Amino acid sequence: MSEPLLVAHGVSKTYQIGKRALEVLKGVNVLVELGDFVALRGSSGAGKSTLLHLLGGLDTPTAGEIWFGGRNLATFSTAQLAQFRNAKVGFVFQAYHLLPELDALENVCLPARIARESVGPVEKRARHLLERVGLGDRLEHRPFELSGGEQQRVAIARALIRNPALLLADEPTGNLDSHTGNEIIDLLCGLRAESQTTLIIATHDAKVAARAPQVVELVDGRVAHDGAG
């Protein structure tokens, strides 16, 4: 049998805030196979975003281990973690995190340009992705010239520019109205099916979570449910 894509084993995360220790995650276990679509569901403060950041190598656990493709992320240097995130993981955030001085095409190209890929092929791929998310006529628009839904579409295209094995979306509909939010989830599901990318969405919205075949429900930093949605 092949290795799972992603394994979190006994993962805990505690933040020190002054003299207070805030325990956000408490011994979480998660297993994700290549091509899976998983929803991390839970109320605000349940630990969804923290777990997502740990799975993507944006943060490190206080205790426990996270394995990606058979490798323990704890063994990676800072530079190796940065390279891992750039090559293997695409991130979609609630607040979009587009660079305001760059237009849509430049924002999408950015991760590949950081990896020093050739400009021509990168721009061709970026144009294709922007057309795929419905923004073929917005290539030269900067973020302030785009609606929230359009900015999120740019962010999705940017997350996919390096063909990541893992796509992590943190409350991707949180800043959008329900209609636009539904369109974004439809888009993520469609792109995931086309590319067979593994998708993990953190959400408090039961309707969004219901789209995923596997749901991991977090309550007070622990896994309360892990199985079919």
Domains (range + CATH), the chain: 6-228 (3.40.50.300)
Q: What is the mean pLDDT of residues 194-221?
A: 92
Say yes or no to pLDDT of 1 above 60. Answer: no
Query: Higher model confidence: residue 14 or residue 196?
Result: 14
Interval 15-38 mean pLDDT:
93
**Per-residue pLDDT, 195:** 82
* Interatomic CA distance for residues 16 and 196, integer angstroms: 39
List, for residues 209-225, the tens digit of each pLDDT value.
Answer: 999 999 999 999 999 98
Query: Is pLDDT above 70 for 228?
Result: no
Question: Rounded to two decimals, what is the model's pTM?
Answer: 0.93
User: Mean pLDDT over all residues of the chain?
Assistant: 93
